[in-house]
Amino acid sequence: MDKILLLAHTQEDGSLPKGAYESLNAALRLAADLGGAALTVGLIGKDVQAAADSLAACGAASILAVTGEDFADSRYSSDAAAVTTLVKQAAPTLVIAPTSSRFSRCLPGAAYRCDGRIETHITGIKVADGAIQVQRWYYRQRMVATLSRAHRPWFLVIDSGVFEPWQGAAGSANVQTLDVAIGDDCRRTKVIGVESPGSDAQTIRPDAKLLFVAGAGWAKKQLDGQLHIKQAEGLILDFINGSKASLGSSKSLVDQSGEGQETLGFMTHLNQIGQTGATPRHPKGLSTCCHGEEPHVVGWRFVKERRAVNLDANCGWARGKADVVYVADAFEVMQKVNALLGA
């Protein structure tokens, strides 16, 4: 009989990230599909009681934890030791965890220490013909593969936005704390602070409800024959900050900044959506001044509802790639939208 261990780590405030609840939902669904596999939860953090309480009603057989100052921050040596201890105690056949930079750093090494195998960036799990099959994408999201393995324990690291987050009432959870001895060699790496970009520059928001894409049209000569880059910057930033949408770009627009042309100052290659860019998962997307060519639109494959604003009624979006195309000047449209947002 399979045994599942769900791993999660706390955030700075002691709560669990959304991905942890999504992975819990994945673990519960898999446990049911396997005919009632036992579920254990393993938590890592400075103090995990509040996190454990939030999962009290999930039906886990037990909640294990590795806690203390040494486990407050992301650090390969202490996190790998914590995960190894949790896996050895729970003795699972399957280990499920959310994708986070913290887990992406430590789980491959921990899987090796546990003589396990690991699959990352999982986008689907099912049980078919008695075997567990997982799905992931390869080669820059161009090929999807379905995999199965006989080796156990099998670590499955789930991408965010694939499963709905588990929801249940908080309660009072019993937590069994495990001892993990950390030597001074482990403590050589210390987190001394976090450097994050200013709020204006922080435009990539994976959990946003809306993806707003700016294409190269924003940096092109407009109907009056002039460039309007500063106005474009203002309209886009006002919309992003007002709506809390995530900002994406076409390749053409981000390439312009690399080539030293005058362009939108806050746009980098990290914003690029498409075949050679990102493939984010947002419920809705709005494309502006972007032609909607296939190498760009392929990055929209997980965006459920798509709209585009383009002057060209014959642009790529109008050829079945968007649900709604507004044939209009994006400068005028976004000015109006921002005014409505402000109101």
63 binds ligand FAD (CB under 6 A): no
251 binds ligand FAD (CB under 6 A): yes
Q: Which of 120, 123, 243, 276 binds ligand FAD (CB under 6 A)?
A: 276
Q: Which of 25, 74, 85, 272 binds ligand FAD (CB under 6 A)?
A: 272
Q: How many CB atoms lie within 10 A of CB 91?
A: 12
280 binds ligand FAD (CB under 6 A): no
268 binds ligand FAD (CB under 6 A): no
Range in contact with ligand FAD (rule: CB under 6 A) among 61-69, 149-157, 209-217, 239-247:
209-217
**How many residues line the site for ligand FAD (CB under 6 A)?**
30
329 binds ligand FAD (CB under 6 A): yes
CB of 162 to ligand FAD, least distance (A): 21
136 binds ligand FAD (CB under 6 A): no
Q: Which of 61, 201, 311, 341 binds ligand FAD (CB under 6 A)?
A: 311
CB of 214 to ligand FAD, least distance (A): 8
Q: Smaller CB distance to ligand FAD: residue 118 or 289? A: 289
Range in contact with ligand FAD (rule: CB under 6 A) among 110-118, 143-151, 238-246, 267-275:
267-275
Q: Which of 330, 334, 337, 338 binds ligand FAD (CB under 6 A)?
A: 330
277 binds ligand FAD (CB under 6 A): yes
Both tokens of 79, joined, read: 């996190």
SS (H, E, C) the chain: CCEEEEEEECCCCCCCCHHHHHHHHHHHHHHHHCCCCEEEEEEEECCCHHHHHHCCCCCCCEEEEEECHHHCCCCHHHHHHHHHHHHHHHCCCEEEEECCHHHHHHHHHHHHHCCCEEEEEECEEEEECCEEEEEEEECCCCEEEEECCCCCCEEEEECCCCCCCCCCCCCCCCEEECCCCCCCCHHHCCCCCCCCCCCCCCCCCCCCCEEEEECHHHHCCCCCCCCCHHHHHHHHHHHHHHHCCEEEECHHHHHHHHCCCCCCCCCCHHHEECCCCECCCCCEEEEECCCCCHHHHHHHCCCCEEEEEECCCCCHHHCCCCCEEEECCHHHHHHHHHHHHHC
Q: Smaller CB distance to ligand FAD: residue 89 or 222? A: 222
Q: Which of 24, 266, 331, 337 binds ligand FAD (CB under 6 A)?
A: 331
133 binds ligand FAD (CB under 6 A): no
Q: Rounded to 5 degrees, what are φ and ψ at 91?
A: 50, 55
253 binds ligand FAD (CB under 6 A): yes
Q: Smaller CB distance to ligand FAD: residue 257 or 272? A: 272
291 binds ligand FAD (CB under 6 A): yes
295 binds ligand FAD (CB under 6 A): yes
Distance, CA of 128 to CA of 240 (rounded, Å): 43
Distance, CA of 232 to CA of 254 (rounded, Å): 14
Cβ-proximal residues to 295 (8 Å cutoff; 6+ apart), any chain: 251, 274, 275, 276
Site string for ligand FAD, 219-248 (x = CB under 6 A): -x-x--------------------------
Amino acid letter, residue 194: V
Q: Which of 5, 20, 111, 289 binds ligand FAD (CB under 6 A)?
A: 289
Range in contact with ligand FAD (rule: CB under 6 A) among 78-86, 131-139, 173-181, 275-283:
275-283
217 binds ligand FAD (CB under 6 A): yes
